[in-house]
A and B are shown apart, each in its own frame.
Chain A
Amino acid sequence: MGRLSIEGVHKHYGKVHALKGVDLDIAEGEFCVFVGPSGCGKSTLLRCIAGLEEIDEGRVRIDGEAVEGLRPRDRNVAMVFQNYALYPYLSVFENIAFGLRARKVPDAEVRARVGRAAAMLGLETFLDRKPRELSGGQRQRVAIGRAVVRDARLFLFDEPLSNLDAQLRDGMRAEIKRLHQEIGKTTVYVTHDQIEAMTLADRIVLLRDGRIEQQGAPLDLFERPETRFVAGFLGSPQMNFIPCRAEGGALRFSCGRSLPLSRPAPEGRDLLFGVRPEHFSRPGEGDPRPRLDVEIDLVQPTGARTYAQFRLGGVEATAELPAHAVERPGARIALAADMARAHLFDAATGRAIRD
């Protein structure tokens, strides 16, 4: 139970074309994360699944049943909202029981199910309180409790952690993942936070301008991005994109420096050399890898690692190095790039160039 399939979904808001033909299949029990920059359509897509927005074209099926004409209540999905959406005039118990009451579930069963949900989320001692007497994390737990207590086919989360402070967010993220492992319900989770997306997802769906840019397992997207956009969106600090051209088996940068290519690349086209900061390193004595001599112009120590910025091919690039690798700006050092894990993109289309 909980298979979701979306076919050719379009959604307009006036003149804005928010979803431009989205196709997606989510398997039973899967944890699927919609991620993308703001305005990419991820929340709209989630709201279309919930039935809070009507779609203009296409199909939404849950367990094979077309639901696009159904009211939200008839779709049997549960949703957790960004601002918790708790009723301030009801106790925690009644907030969790709200959906059951609306469906006229007998009182004894309401009590049993709320009790189970509260135990699962560690809310037993708060049941008589009002939401305003709870901390942000506890409120979010109550909101999750409202979803868990119902026997819904799908769980939908709309940026549930973005109102929490960083420390609490890490804790709740782990809790949501644990909850999914326990209950095993199909979950669709919207976030703009790539860390949340990477850590939670079985599958990431990266949206851009109302279309799916790429979808797949988190590490798959991270290691094999199909476009420059995907490569740039996942990973922090961002991947470096350095303009270059392929000539005679080497990449030539506008500053005159070059790196030998480990695999063939189309010549005579503007390319982007994509390399993640952590794939730069300082070559040791006798290291066979090709070197780039650079002058560091900015040093940002973060404790465990240090981010060093330098100019290459006319743009600013970042290398992530061990803590004491560079002490001050102005240092001239040699860097080696891990060419096997680097990417090439077509500068015009942004698409990855694979062999």
Chain B
Amino acid sequence: MMRPDRGTGLALRYVAAVAVTLLFLFPVYWLFMISFKTPEEIFASPPVWWPKSLQLANYAVLFKDGDVVTIWNSVVIASVSTAAAMIIGTMCAYSIARFRTGGNFFTDWLLSNRMVPPIVIVFPVFLLYVKVGLVDSYLGLILLYTAFNLPYVVWMMRGYIQDIPLELEESALVDGCTRWQVFLRVVLPMARSGFFATAVFTFVFAWNEFIFALVLTRAEVTTFPVQVTHYFGGQSNFWAKIAAMSALGTIPIFIAVTLLQRYLVRGISLGAVKG
């Protein structure tokens, strides 16, 4: 039997890669297409693969009704909670990595927080928030998402920081840096890839979070995932609105991932390959 030569093998691999990419991209394509279709086109059979004209009426409605403000709410809540979790979590991770703060127990306990099913604490948190007046406020969700993401950030950043050669920090200390300067001028630049990769995952978590946003918001700070569910009605679903809103909702994630892509790949694969 003849073995396929290298060219054939490469071609096969490309075909497989393209096929898998298409499979994953199709729902995204379909979502965007629906958002540009007229109601007739949405329900047409056989399906319309490409609408006659890319009409923006579905988006216009969202803007006119003021529904897009929920995307802004999500941007504020996800960004601020990500920033807070990254700042506090990275400092905490540094402390654990270099000074063994809290010993082994503390890090395990931190991680165990992540294992609690959210549904278990939704209602206690709701009752607590009613008492302290944090329901339907930016601060309420920001605090909660920060708390949720902290264990993840600490755990991930601890690993990235432990990979930094200790000599780099010691050298900086002898050269005249304070601990703070070491953290800012050595640790952060060295852990940059891991930092951004962690930040993206943290942001995506806050962006997608649904159950707490549903229970803890009313009208003021409704987030985008909650808003989308409002279009699923008892009698009918507003597919046009669902598609347009969802399309808008992917844009911030798309921007974040595109901007940080080079860090993301390096950050995720960090430690996989030495050197």
* Residues of chain A having any CB pair with chain B under 8 Å: 50-52, 71-73, 77-79, 81-83, 85, 87-89, 98-99, 102-103, 146, 150, 156
Q: Which of B171, B177, B178, B185 contacts A79 (CB 8 A)?
A: B171
Q: Given contacts A51-B174, A102-B175, is CB(A85)–CB(B189) below 8 Å? A: no
Name B117-161 residues within 8 Å CB distance of A: none
In the complex, residue of chain B having the shortest beta-carbon distance to the beta carbon of A90: B189
How distant is the Cα of A85 from the Cα of B170 in the complex, in angstroms? 9
* B211-250 interface with A by 8 A CB criterion: none
Q: For A87, what are the chain B residues with a Cβ–Cβ distance below 8 Å?
A: 168, 186, 189-190
**Chain A residues, Cβ within 8 Å of B165:** 83, 85
Q: B172 an interface residue at 8 Å Cβ cutoff?
A: yes
Contacting pair B167 A85 (CB below 8 A): yes
Scan B164-207; emit 1 where CB is below 8 A from any A CB, else 0.
Answer: 01011011111111100100011001101000000000000000
A-B contact pairs, 24 of them (CB 8 A): A50-B170, A51-B173, A51-B174, A52-B170, A71-B173, A73-B175, A73-B176, A73-B177, A77-B174, A78-B174, A81-B167, A85-B165, A85-B167, A87-B186, A87-B189, A89-B190, A89-B192, A98-B175, A99-B176, A102-B172, A102-B176, A102-B185, A103-B176, A146-B171
Q: Please state if A72 and B189 are interface contacts (CB–CB under 8 Å).
A: no
Find out whether the CB atom of A89 lies under 8 angstroms from the CB atom of B189.
Answer: yes
What residue of chain B has the Cβ atom nearest to residue A158's Cβ? B167
Bin chain B's interface residue count: 10 to 19
Q: How far is the CA of A78 from the CA of B170 in the complex (A)?
A: 11
Given contacts A89-B189, A102-B185, contact A73 B178 (CB under 8 A): yes
- Asked if A82 contacts B167 (CB within 8 A), the reply is yes
Known: A73-B178, A85-B167, A89-B189. A98 touches B172 (CB 8 A): yes
* Partner among A72, A82, A83, A89 whose Cβ is within 8 Å of the Cβ of B174: A72
In Å, the complex CA distance between A87 and B191 comes to 12
- Which residue of chain A has its CB nearest to the CB of B185? A102
Residue of A78, A82, A88, A89 near B175 (CB, 8 A) is A78
Bound complex: CA of A87 vs CA of B165, how far in Å? 10
Contact B168 A85 (CB under 8 A): yes
Q: Which of B170, B171, B185, B186 has the most CB of A within 10 A?
A: B171
B-side contacts of A50, CB under 8 Å:
170, 174
Query: Nearest chain A CB to B251's CB is how many angstroms away?
Result: 31
Q: A50-B170, A71-B178, A89-B189 are in contact. List 4 more A-B contacts (CB 8 A).
A: A73-B177, A87-B186, A102-B177, A103-B176
Residue ID in chain A nearest B173 by CB atoms: A72
Interface string of B240-274 (1 = CB under 8 A from A): 00000000000000000000000000000000000
Contacting pair B174 A52 (CB below 8 A)? yes
Find A150's partner among B167, B175, B185 (CB 8 Å cutoff). B175
Shortest B150–chain A CB gap in Å is 27
Q: Tell me the bound Cα distance from A102 to B173 in angstroms.
A: 10
Question: In the complex, which residue of chain A has the Cβ closest to the Cβ of B178?
Answer: A73
Q: Are A85 and B177 in contact (CB under 8 A)?
A: no
Contacts of A88 in B (CB 8 A): 190
A89 cross-chain contacts in B, Cβ below 8 A: 189-190, 192
Q: How far is the CA of A77 from the CA of B175 in the complex (A)?
A: 8
Cα distance, A87 to B185, chains bound together (Å): 10
Q: Identify the 3 closest CB pairs spanning chains A and B, nearest first.
A: A99-B175, A85-B171, A102-B176
Residues of A contacting B173 in the complex (Cβ-Cβ under 8 angstroms): 51-52, 71-73
Residues from chain B with Cβ under 8 Å of A73 in the complex: 173-178
Q: How far is the CA of A77 from the CA of B173 in the complex (A)?
A: 10
Most chain B CB atoms below 10 A, which of A73, A83, A88, A156: A73
Instruction: Return the chain B residue nearest A146 by Cβ.
Output: B175
B181 to chain A, nearest CB (A): 6
Residue of A nearest to B189 (CB): A89
